[in-house]
Structure 1
């Protein structure tokens, strides 16, 4: 019986080639997108899910409030890691990890400098008790017990000591330099993780090494009021202890060490290990869970559109198979057998589409490499993928094929054999009603996608044309080692200024506009009134204004004096003053140093355009200003200049591998996620339109073919071709009109949410709504019109000869 089902199914598929091609093309596109998204989601959720008792491992994070702003940070104060298990019960193990990023590595034995490397982590033995490793040599209990000890991953050990076996590497010395020098002895070698992990570091240095540094003040090892994202704390909870128990104990702990006044603006949370990959991990780029969820929804929408196509076309063509149903039922076929027959036909189509989807998936993967996670691999024959494809095919068969199969199986044999087209008497046909509504749903999605793509594109175009308040053209920058001696920086600046094509060189802690910022508070006395305001800070020198073409509206430049500062117009407004001249000479204390406002610069966007322009104070603190900014003369060959400047930097810093970057390119990357959103949605809208048009092509082809006799009669009675075209197209115009109204509401909601993320944005471009509707309507009328025109060309005598 089953063999017979599939044999008949195959014959029907071959008999209706156009219908089959439309089904297979639409379903294969939907399956390929869902399959690729499934693998991306599985890849993202696979990170660090293999650790023993992973459900009991949490990371302690910090949320602090300043004014009316809240800031989340994955780091904790250094002392918290020392006392957490003493003050809070239910902790089985703790591990304090401090990131030692961009560390210079030197092998004293061979006097070889390996340059700056990422992957060094300051930890204790407890780190390996929470996150176990397979040890090649050495013992976990003793490896990091003493200061100046280091455990290497097996691959890194081979890089550092390429010609030595693991046993002989033990006891070798490695020097790490990152503002501080740590000379460490190798005490163990571990296997790297084979699974995906954000904790797969290469050099594990004993954290007690910080205790023996000549000056460890920058680590704030005794301060509860200072923390950094580099200092993170992992905790393994005892069995039966919940993260909520940990969080409930933190307020009392904060009160104990910081006092009542800090309890309100400092909070700590227990973040599950499973969330590590979706937040700021230890130096790794976090995955965006919102984007992942959006991709899942996007894939489902495309797949639903393909399923609607299938249902729409199958129910429309069901009447052509009514006599087949009548004969089968007359010969004893049951409703269940007929339903199984048509489900078998659907399953064959789905299986063919699934096989073809592999080609589309590979094409999608190759063109979207830049959007996929790093180290993403696609294995079609992995167990999870095979289970997904098989299960997905069966589910898709039921979703897409069950209703058409039930429609066909429910035909009354007497009516079917007479060729009646309605299963019930009366003018209402549920099948026609359903097909119209499914068509509306399809084109609603298509129009909504097109509108949202145009809105996002308009906002991005607005951002690219927005005046930033500074000149970002022909400005390059490079980062010197942090806390570098001023003498070497001065040498680099002097050599750069000797080049005729360089108009100016400045030094700062950040670019003129960046996504990173520092927030602080200052007290100012204005007209005998003491005012406390929150400010954004930036460290610059006096050349910064000219290099970035900032405009001074009052006062003078700071002249590289520690007690001089520049402010922006937003700070003037924050103080309730109208004239910038009124703030000149005002004094305040910052970091124990009295400062005086010497000048006011015109407002510029120190942050991206999602943020409003905040009060800004610019200080002269060269020791905390590692960025070198260079302005080129007009007409300079930028590529040649950059090459020469890179060589100059290499001459001053021979062990560094950094290169000069362009400010305008960096500013453009502020909106990289939005550009990705536009491209992904543009691709999705194209697919949605393609699938909807495929369905409309098949449906209109069939429905117009059913009306050829009506068209013939109308032509005999004197109707013109134009009148016939209007008659047939009128129904589809109504459907697209309904789709446009529904799509406009959906697109308005999501577009508003997107635009509201920007402080500087366009108004809602309603003209683009109309343009999108007209675009889809034009495509629809073109498809329907071609079919209708073809039908009007038939000879009425040939069409009506059997009447």
Structure 2
């Protein structure tokens, strides 16, 4: 019996090839997107889900209030890690980390340089208690007790000591070069995590190595007021203790250690282990939950459009199968059998769509490779995907096929055989459903078009605004942390000797980037100081010229620590009457009195989402980390870059950094917005495609049902233009209703998004109208083409049976 159902279903699909093609193409697009997003979700939520008692593991975060702005980050003050288990009840275990960046690893026995890595951290033994691993060698309880001990992962053991067994590596020495040189003895070997984890560390130097007071001060672990993102703290709570209880207990602890809250308000809170992948992680593979949720909504909308498309076409074509239903019922067929028959056809189309959709997944992966995580891969035979193959077609069949099957199976046989499907000339549920489903499809398409156009309009606006400095022909490279003043100055002098270079500067950050250093400054007022929050940049005197920042008054400095430069916004905030009035004034910064020697024009040191801040330029040579150069005009940029890289290698032979253009860093400012725009653009194309296919099939069928009416009107003298207007009028009304429905959802999203920019365009309502007109033209083009063909038909042939 079931075989017979599917055999008949297959024949019906072959008989109606256009209908089958439209259904399969629309559903396969929706399925491919849903399948890819489903796997992306599975991948994103798979990180660190394998640790024992994972729901009781948290990272401690710091929340800081700067002038009403709440800023949270994953760093914690050093003393918190010392007292948290004794002063906060409910802490079963703690793990202290101090993460290192770009650490050079050297094998001292043959002075072999292994390169730089971001996978080195100081750690205590609590880390391996909270995140247990399989030990290949060493004692888990004592390996990280003594200073200058290190536990390494199996993967780096094979890199550092190829061909050796774990027991043979114990006792070997490794040298780590960062802010200090540490020579550590290998005391343990552990297996690497086999599953996805954000805990990427492979080299664990004992935390006791930096436990002396001198080392604590050097790494900023000695004071509650030192907040360093490298200082990380994990805890495992006692069973039955909730996150809210611990968060509440942090309040009194913070109050005790931060008594003066006039300038800064600091507190702590727990971040669940499962959330780390979506926030500050250690591999820079963060994926925004907002972006991920947006993908889910888009996938569901596209699938919904394809499903609505299916329902719309099936109900519209019900008349064509009415006699089939009448004959089946006359021969004894019951409604349940007919429903199963029509659902069988739907299921076959869904299976066909899934096969096509799986093939489209690879196309989507290639198209959006830059949007997907680097290590992301689709395992088509995984358990969750096999479950997807089984359950999703059944669910989609039920959603897409149940209404059409109920409509088709509900026809009365005596009326169906006569072709009388409507009992009255009044309300028709089928026509009502078709119109409303069409409106929903058009509304989605119009909303997507509005979103894409406005996002593109705003992004073009912010990227075309003057930044207040000259970014053309500026290149930069990152220097090793605290690599020595003499070495940095030597590299800068070498650059200035090149004919291709017009200027060079050392600084702690780029002229415009995502980095931000804030502090307080005091302005003498009578016998006290007026204090306000400022942005700080660590630069030399050549920074202004190299980056083309206009100097309003004074001089660019003399590389003296008691001199500072400020911007115009600083002058206004300080209450000085003019830039000239600010020259020679004294300010208190960093606990010392400094003199203002120059005032620069305001420029955007960060994105246009933020307003220009009061800015102070100071100099602290040991902490320079960027070398910027301004090239002469008319240079071959590729050759210039190659030459600069060569000089850099001569001064830093073991480094792998290279020169980049300043533009490449600034392109990252609106990377998330561009991703949203591009994904929405792709969804917009798909929405229009699916809606157009649905309209093509629907108009083709409905116009074919009106051929006799059209022929009669032609016989009575109607022109082709009148016939086109008559048929198109109904669809124009549907598009206008769709436009009215689409306006508010698009406006609601865009209002919030535009409010995120300090510098933004006014709501471009003309783009709303342009979107509606565009969809109307597409609709008229499709309907008009079908109407024109119908209007060209010979009335004699159409009406010959009457």
In the TM superposition, residue 260 of structure 1 has moved relative to its aligned partner by 5.6
Bigger CA drift: 131-140 or 619-628?
619-628
**What whole-Å deviation, never above 9, does each CA across 1:300-333 have from its counterpart, x for those lacking one?**
0000000000000000001111111122222222
Contact 2:121 2:204 in 1 (8 A): yes
Provide the alpha-carbon RMSD of the alignment: 1.5
In the other structure, the counterpart of 1:314 is: 314
1:600 aligns with 2:599: yes
In the TM superposition, residue 776 of structure 1 has moved relative to its aligned partner by 1.4
In the TM superposition, residue 213 of structure 1 has moved relative to its aligned partner by 9.1
Bigger CA drift: 469-478 or 636-645?
636-645
In the other structure, the counterpart of 2:352 is: 352
**What whole-Å deviation, never above 9, does each CA across 1:278-316 have from its counterpart, x for those lacking one?**
110235332211111000000000000000000000000
Give the 3-state SS of the residue equivalent to 2:441 in structure 1: helix
Using structure 2 for the length normalisation, give the TM-score: 0.98
Contact 1:198 1:284 in 2 (8 A): no
In the other structure, the counterpart of 2:439 is: 440
In the other structure, the counterpart of 1:280 is: 280
In the other structure, the counterpart of 1:531 is: 530
1:121 aligns with 2:126: no
CA distance in 2, matches of 1:621, 1:770: 55
In the TM superposition, residue 578 of structure 1 has moved relative to its aligned partner by 4.7
In the other structure, the counterpart of 2:396 is: 396
In the TM superposition, residue 527 of structure 1 has moved relative to its aligned partner by 7.1
Unaligned runs of at least 5 residues, structure 2: none
Bigger CA drift: 527-536 or 310-319?
527-536
Bigger CA drift: 553-562 or 788-797?
553-562
Contact 2:323 2:417 in 1 (8 A): yes
1:168 aligns with 2:172: no
Alignment of 1:494-505 (within 5 A): 494-505=493-504
Contact 1:519 1:536 in 2 (8 A): yes
**What whole-Å deviation, never above 9, does each CA across 1:243-299 have from its counterpart, x for those lacking one?**
111111111112233326379711100111111111102353322111110000000
In the TM superposition, residue 365 of structure 1 has moved relative to its aligned partner by 1.0
Give the 3-state SS of the residue equivalent to 1:261 in structure 2: coil
In the other structure, the counterpart of 1:711 is: 710
1:227 aligns with 2:234: no
How many residues are matched? 802
CA distance in 2, matches of 1:479, 1:45: 33
In the TM superposition, residue 577 of structure 1 has moved relative to its aligned partner by 4.4
CA distance in 2, matches of 1:223, 1:87: 17
In the other structure, the counterpart of 2:10 is: 10
Give the 3-state SS of the residue equivalent to 1:49 in structure 2: coil
List structure 1 runs of 4+ shifted beyond 6 angstroms. Answer: none
CA distance in 2, matches of 1:283, 1:342: 51
CA distance in 2, matches of 1:122, 1:262: 34
CA distance in 2, matches of 1:262, 1:249: 22
Alignment of 1:442-591 (within 5 A): 442-526=441-525, 530-591=529-590
Contact 2:75 2:232 in 1 (8 A): yes
In the TM superposition, residue 421 of structure 1 has moved relative to its aligned partner by 3.1
In the other structure, the counterpart of 1:655 is: 654
In the TM superposition, residue 515 of structure 1 has moved relative to its aligned partner by 1.1
Alignment of 1:44-123 (within 5 A): 44-123=44-123
In the TM superposition, residue 671 of structure 1 has moved relative to its aligned partner by 1.0
**What whole-Å deviation, never above 9, does each CA across 1:727-774 have from its counterpart, x for those lacking one?**
111111111111122222222221222211111112222222222222
CA distance in 2, matches of 1:320, 1:85: 75
In the other structure, the counterpart of 1:416 is: 416
CA distance in 1, matches of 2:138, 2:624: 42
CA distance in 1, matches of 2:372, 2:320: 45
In the other structure, the counterpart of 1:327 is: 327
In the TM superposition, residue 686 of structure 1 has moved relative to its aligned partner by 0.5
Give the 3-state SS of the residue equivalent to 1:141 in structure 2: coil
**What whole-Å deviation, never above 9, does each CA across 1:13-61 have from its counterpart, x for those lacking one?**
1111110100000000100000000000110000000000001111110
Give the 3-state SS of the residue equivalent to 1:357 in structure 2: helix
Unaligned runs of at least 5 residues, structure 1: none
CA distance in 2, matches of 1:354, 1:507: 57
CA distance in 2, matches of 1:63, 1:387: 42
Instruction: Pick closer, same or farther for the CA change 1:260–1:573 going to 2, 3 Å.
Output: closer
Give the 3-state SS of the residue equivalent to 1:9 in structure 2: helix
In the other structure, the counterpart of 2:141 is: 141
**What whole-Å deviation, never above 9, does each CA across 1:701-743 have from its counterpart, x for those lacking one?**
0000000000000000001111111111111111111112222
Contact 2:66 2:263 in 1 (8 A): no
CA distance in 1, matches of 2:284, 2:675: 20
In the other structure, the counterpart of 2:237 is: 237
CA distance in 1, matches of 2:492, 2:725: 74
**What whole-Å deviation, never above 9, does each CA across 1:386-417 have from its counterpart, x for those lacking one?**
10121111000011000111111221222212
Give the 3-state SS of the residue equivalent to 1:484 in structure 2: coil
Contact 1:351 1:393 in 2 (8 A): yes
In the other structure, the counterpart of 2:667 is: 668
CA distance in 2, matches of 1:359, 1:464: 37
Contact 2:477 2:626 in 1 (8 A): yes
Instruction: Pick closer, same or farther for the CA change 1:229–1:215 going to 2, 3 Å.
Output: closer
In the other structure, the counterpart of 1:373 is: 373
CA distance in 2, matches of 1:104, 1:529: 48
Contact 2:346 2:397 in 1 (8 A): yes
In the other structure, the counterpart of 2:405 is: 405
In the TM superposition, residue 337 of structure 1 has moved relative to its aligned partner by 1.6
Contact 2:474 2:662 in 1 (8 A): yes
Bigger CA drift: 125-134 or 585-594?
585-594
Contact 1:192 1:200 in 2 (8 A): no
In the TM superposition, residue 218 of structure 1 has moved relative to its aligned partner by 2.5
In the TM superposition, residue 69 of structure 1 has moved relative to its aligned partner by 2.1
Alignment of 1:765-776 (within 5 A): 765-776=764-775
CA distance in 2, matches of 1:682, 1:219: 47
Bigger CA drift: 669-678 or 276-285?
276-285
Alignment of 1:194-205 (within 5 A): 194-205=194-205
In the TM superposition, residue 439 of structure 1 has moved relative to its aligned partner by 0.7
Alignment of 1:35-46 (within 5 A): 35-46=35-46
